[in-house]
Structure 1
Amino acid sequence: MAFRSVLFNVLFYLLMIAMMIVCAPVMVLGRPAALSAVRLFSRLSMALHRAVTGIRHEYRGFDSIPPGGSLVALKHQSVWETIALLAHLPAPAFVLKKELMRIPLFGWWARASGMIAVDRSGGVAALHEMTRDARAAVTEGRQVMIFPEGTRREAGAPPDYKPGIVHLYRELGAPIVPVALNSGLFWPRRTLVHRKGAIVAEVQLIIPAGLEPRQAFRRMRDEIETACDRLLLEAARDGAYLEPTARARVAALEDGVTPAA
Structure 2
Amino acid sequence: MSASQSRSASSGSLVRGLFFHAGLVTTVIIWALVSLPSFPLPLRFRYWWITRWCSIVAFMVRHIAGIRIEFSGLSNIPKRPGVVLAKHQSAWETLNLLPLFYPQSWVLKRELLKIPVFGWGLARLDPIAIDRGAGREALRQVIDQGREKIASGRWIVVFPEGTRVPPGETGRYQQGGALLACRAGVPVTPVAHNAGEHWPRRGLRIKPGTIHVEVGPPIPTDGKSPAQVINETSAWIEEAMGRIGRTHPATR
* TM-score normalised by L of structure 1: 0.86
Q: What corresponds to 1:250 in structure 2?
A: 251
d(CA) in 2 for partners of 1:39, 1:196: 25
Matched, 1:218 2:231: yes
Contact 1:81 1:183 in 2 (8 A): yes
Q: What corresponds to 1:135 in structure 2?
A: 147
Q: What corresponds to 1:195 in structure 2?
A: 207
Give the 3-state SS of the residue equivalent to 1:199 in structure 2.
strand
- Give the superposition deviation at 1:205: 1.0
Q: Describe how 1:48-87 pairs up with structure 2 within 5 A.
A: 48-87=60-99
d(CA) in 1 for partners of 2:250, 2:82: 31
Contact 2:31 2:50 in 1 (8 A): no
Give the 3-state SS of the residue equivalent to 2:108 in structure 1.
strand
d(CA) in 1 for partners of 2:145, 2:92: 25
Question: Over residues 90-134 of structure 1, what are the superposed CA-to-partner deviations in whole Å (9 max), with x where a residue is unaligned?
Answer: 211111111112223322222221211111101222221221111
Contact 1:27 1:112 in 2 (8 A): yes
Give the 3-state SS of the residue equivalent to 2:40 in structure 1.
helix
Q: Describe how 1:19-34 pairs up with structure 2 within 5 A.
A: 19-34=31-46
- Give the superposition deviation at 1:144: 0.1
- Give the superposition deviation at 1:154: 0.9
Moved over 6 A (4+): none
Give the 3-state SS of the residue equivalent to 1:198 in structure 2.
strand
Residues 38, 67 of structure 1: alpha-carbon distance in 2 compared, 3 angstrom cutoff:
farther
d(CA) in 1 for partners of 2:166, 2:100: 24
Q: What corresponds to 1:38 in structure 2?
A: 50
- Give the superposition deviation at 1:31: 1.2
What residue identity is the alignment partner of 1:97? K
- Segment drifting more, 101-110 vs 42-51: 101-110
Q: Considering only aligned residues, what root-mean-square deviation do their CA atoms show, in Å?
A: 1.6
- Give the superposition deviation at 1:209: 3.3
Q: Describe how 1:148-227 pairs up with structure 2 within 5 A.
A: 148-213=160-225, 214-227=227-240
Aligned residues: 239
Question: Over residues 143-182 of structure 1, what are the superposed CA-to-partner deviations in whole Å (9 max), with x where a residue is unaligned?
Answer: 1000001001011113421122232122221110000000
| Uncovered stretches (5+) of structure 1, i.e. residues with no partner | 237-245, 252-261
- Give the superposition deviation at 1:48: 1.3
d(CA) in 1 for partners of 2:118, 2:42: 16
What residue identity is the alignment partner of 1:200? H
Matched, 1:96 2:82: no
d(CA) in 1 for partners of 2:156, 2:110: 16
d(CA) in 2 for partners of 1:111, 1:48: 24
- Give the superposition deviation at 1:32: 0.8
Residues 151, 204 of structure 1: alpha-carbon distance in 2 compared, 3 angstrom cutoff:
same
Residues 169, 229 of structure 1: alpha-carbon distance in 2 compared, 3 angstrom cutoff:
same
Contact 1:40 1:87 in 2 (8 A): no
* TM-score normalised by L of structure 2: 0.89
What residue identity is the alignment partner of 2:111? E
Contact 1:174 1:209 in 2 (8 A): yes
- Give the superposition deviation at 1:63: 4.4
Give the 3-state SS of the residue equivalent to 1:86 in structure 2.
coil
What residue identity is the alignment partner of 2:17? S
What residue identity is the alignment partner of 1:225? E
Question: Over residues 9-62 of structure 1, what are the superposed CA-to-partner deviations in whole Å (9 max), with x where a residue is unaligned?
Answer: 111211111001012111211211222123311111111121012111123233
Contact 1:182 1:201 in 2 (8 A): yes
Contact 1:68 1:138 in 2 (8 A): no
d(CA) in 1 for partners of 2:119, 2:28: 13
| Uncovered stretches (5+) of structure 2, i.e. residues with no partner | 1-11
d(CA) in 2 for partners of 1:87, 1:20: 20
Residues 35, 57 of structure 1: alpha-carbon distance in 2 compared, 3 angstrom cutoff:
same
- Segment drifting more, 146-155 vs 164-173: 164-173
